[in-house]
Structure 1
């Protein structure tokens, strides 16, 4: 049902030069083909469904044991929250050359990279450790790299502090990090996740090339006019003849800090006119498109087709969705909700409130950020300083 959408974008893509995207030398990198992506999504075959597909995921349960609902377990009055944990996984923009190099000494982490290579058909660890950075920044490479490095960091946590895994009561991931959280919660196998993230990354990169876009972090104050700024930026892009002009909040980070995404012309307008709207600071992100906006609609449809054929299980741990901050009820809920995340704003600030809301006298759990960078730890500090006091980074 989404072929007409893809076909219209295919025609447009033939007229687009990759040079306009200014991401890297396109002559050195093979561009994903729309038809190939569509066929790959439509013919997605999950070989994990026929056997135990969780061999690469980290399970806190002995083999054959019945998984308990960790979220309900955490609500029992006799459980001290300080003995429980919450695990967070970062998203795109955190990638850097050299990540993953310190993790291969952990057997479980090394196995993840080798398993990923068999799906991706290239040496992921080599790309992570040696770059180049411009290639690593491309969405179709950045997303698998961050996913695998984040789960490799989880293996490190398992070795160094196994109680954090055993006593985890909730998990969440920022954008693509949500798929890492779903692997941890045993919703999908590691190989299934890599296959899905490969399709997701290639589809989002392709959508970015169809409609060049950008994302910018915006710091603003009570007197700022961010809403009006986005409207004016969209109108400016329309006046330049931009098709599908768009400019809107794509990520809710913390009070007075949002990420805005849209067409390149719209984001440039915000940068040039920030004083008019009393915007304090703007900073571009290391991404190649306007993610979590309607400009990603072709990618959403491709990803949804692949996810429809993937084997999913009910979560063993509460996994909170980026779309509304609530935890997934079951596998069917994941199948419905996860594709929406590609075109909907990431409500991370709201998710943090859901995860850490408690009475004034109740202690906070230990929080572990597994993956490259410390972005989520910084955001948590801005949202809830007390919760951040028990937050640690598990570097990739």
Structure 2
């Protein structure tokens, strides 16, 4: 009897196993597991994995090459179109005045012919359906008209896009940011509009200085601060921002008058409330500017009386940030001043307390961004109590001239004032706003709940659009920021609050989630 080999494996093909009692067990290799003792097993698995990886790599490379080819074709077509347009422009420039006039008239006749075909397209299509079928199916005239317009646009060398009925009838809301969205020369991009120029001249006569250029040099210290130094003063920054916000609506009126006709709501963040009241026709431009001017002066006086600071924080929950603020107070003021979006806040208070908050927030787990604001001021805290009382006196003197809002108002304090309501509550709400927390996140949620579906940010730097991305990604896609400033004249990055749009989307809340 053969000796038992302790190093043999029953899985070996054709190898009988002899037990001590003499019985022989024949191993069936059909369902035998992989042999861990055989190096060939691992070599086969490695080769199989390598083949699969090579196949995936080849498929990815093929897809990439196809995408590159499509992109190259698209680039080539665009370049050919640009070259054709340049050649047409060169040929047009060589023509005489009379020949140019004839060309323009020919284009006009062609455009009129195309529009006529577009208008007749549904009827023509319906007639063809009648001839080809005894029973006429339902015809979507809007779809037929859109198809005809697209064909005509291609023939004319232009590209058009259509909105659905739901998109074309969406309720529009105008959004007005606060003063932290300021930008040097922010009114410059609107000067081609007559309405914006009139507002600039009107405000210059009332303020005594140009909202685009700022006041004259105040002192030697201002010279050292650079050309944007005047914007660091609340008393100058707020009137300038107000003028820009109202002037931005002139651009919307010029570029998209249909959107302005569908506007049913306005919302402001802090200072933006005053422009919102102007667009809702509660008061006129001049009265709003006078209110903003006094508001800025009162806040500037409060800042000079006791040093204040403001801090932008992103990535921490409101409860966590609230505990940090409480730990940093030490008999001073320090708290959340603005609720911008989920895990995005502005904090304000005494400068020493906010400095302590800065260090603790940096060390806090989960904090994604923290930055001191260059425009120091503890708005929406108890440090503005004296300013609030004086502002209330002025606003109450305006009450007799205020009118019921033409549009729904969503104020920073979280209060909605419906269109047609009495304006008697507004002076008190605006004055209390200086001391109470601003709840932008709540205002946006209320607008979405009330059916607003299209938004236009009237101010520089796109801060509210960035915040909208964190509040509701769907609404963010329907938010348009109006370009109101010169791109080459922005302020230095260190003087601006965080660009919310650059933050990771992990902080976004689900649409409709409670805030």
Query: Shorter chain as normaliser: what TM range?
Result: 0.7 to 0.9
Q: 1:170 maps to which residue?
A: 265
- Which whole-Å CA distance do the structure 2 matches of 1:203 and 1:387 have between them? 36
Q: What SS is found at the alignment partner of 2:173?
A: strand
1:333 corresponds to which of 425, 429, 444 = 425
Q: 1:377 to 1:190 in 2, by over 3 A?
A: same
Answering whether residue 462 of structure 2 is matched by residue 367 of structure 1, we say: no
The aligned length equals 305
Offset at residue 104 of structure 1 (A): 1.3
Correspondence 1:230-379 to 2 at 5 A: 230-235=325-330, 238=331, 245-274=332-361, 277-278=364-365, 280=367, 281-310=369-398, 311-328=401-418, 329-357=421-449, 365-379=453-467
- Which whole-Å CA distance do the structure 1 matches of 2:192 and 2:317 have between them? 48
TM-score by length of 2: 0.57
| Contact 1:325 1:354 (C-alpha < 8 Å) held by counterparts | no
Q: What SS is found at the alignment partner of 1:96?
A: coil
Q: What SS is found at the alignment partner of 1:125?
A: coil
Q: What SS is found at the alignment partner of 2:252?
A: helix
Q: What SS is found at the alignment partner of 2:290?
A: helix
- Which whole-Å CA distance do the structure 1 matches of 2:362 and 2:295 have between them? 37
> Residue by residue, what CA displacement relative to the aligned partner does 1:132-189 show, whole Å, maximum 9, x if unpaired?
2121121001100110011111111111111121110111011111100100000011
> Residue by residue, what CA displacement relative to the aligned partner does 1:6-30 show, whole Å, maximum 9, x if unpaired?
xxxxxxxxxxxxxxxxxxxxxxxxx
Q: 1:275 to 1:202 in 2, by over 3 A?
A: closer
| Contact 2:362 2:370 (C-alpha < 8 Å) held by counterparts | no
> Which stretch of the first structure deviates more once superposed, 329-338 or 150-159?
329-338
- Which whole-Å CA distance do the structure 2 matches of 1:220 and 1:390 have between them? 25
Aligned Cα RMSD in Å? Answer: 2.0
Q: 2:103 maps to which residue?
A: none
1:390 corresponds to which of 478, 491, 494 = 478
> Residue by residue, what CA displacement relative to the aligned partner does 1:363-391 show, whole Å, maximum 9, x if unpaired?
x6221101111000011111011111111
- Which whole-Å CA distance do the structure 2 matches of 1:372 and 1:275 have between them? 28
Offset at residue 251 of structure 1 (A): 0.1
> Which stretch of the first structure deviates more once superposed, 146-155 or 318-327?
318-327
> Which stretch of the first structure deviates more once superposed, 81-90 or 259-268?
81-90
Q: What SS is found at the alignment partner of 2:292?
A: helix
Q: 1:279 to 1:208 in 2, by over 3 A?
A: farther
Q: 1:317 to 1:378 in 2, by over 3 A?
A: same
| Contact 1:174 1:348 (C-alpha < 8 Å) held by counterparts | yes
Answering whether residue 270 of structure 2 is matched by residue 146 of structure 1, we say: no
Offset at residue 273 of structure 1 (A): 2.2
Bigger helix share? 2
2:210 corresponds to which of 90, 103, 123 = 123
| Contact 2:340 2:467 (C-alpha < 8 Å) held by counterparts | yes
- Compare relative contact order (CA 8 Å, sep 6+) and give the higher one, 1 or 2: 1
Q: 2:304 maps to which residue?
A: 209
Answering whether residue 187 of structure 2 is matched by residue 100 of structure 1, we say: yes
Q: What SS is found at the alignment partner of 1:344?
A: coil
| Contact 2:408 2:416 (C-alpha < 8 Å) held by counterparts | no
Q: What SS is found at the alignment partner of 2:213?
A: helix
Q: What SS is found at the alignment partner of 2:336?
A: strand
- Which whole-Å CA distance do the structure 2 matches of 1:182 and 1:231 have between them? 35
1:160 corresponds to which of 234, 240, 255 = 255
Q: 1:156 to 1:222 in 2, by over 3 A?
A: closer
* Runs of 5+ consecutive residues of structure 1 not aligned to the other structure: 1-78, 239-244
- Which whole-Å CA distance do the structure 1 matches of 2:402 and 2:166 have between them? 32
Q: 1:136 maps to which residue?
A: 231
> Residue by residue, what CA displacement relative to the aligned partner does 1:87-113 show, whole Å, maximum 9, x if unpaired?
101111111112111211101000001
- Which whole-Å CA distance do the structure 2 matches of 1:157 and 1:211 have between them? 41
Offset at residue 330 of structure 1 (A): 2.2
| Contact 1:141 1:201 (C-alpha < 8 Å) held by counterparts | yes
* Runs of 5+ consecutive residues of structure 2 not aligned to the other structure: 1-164, 218-225, 485-515
Offset at residue 278 of structure 1 (A): 3.2
Q: 1:199 to 1:380 in 2, by over 3 A?
A: same
Q: 1:89 maps to which residue?
A: 176
- Which whole-Å CA distance do the structure 1 matches of 2:432 and 2:317 have between them? 30
Q: 1:10 maps to which residue?
A: none
- Which whole-Å CA distance do the structure 1 matches of 2:274 and 2:227 have between them? 25
| Contact 1:225 1:279 (C-alpha < 8 Å) held by counterparts | no
Offset at residue 219 of structure 1 (A): 1.7
Q: 1:38 maps to which residue?
A: none
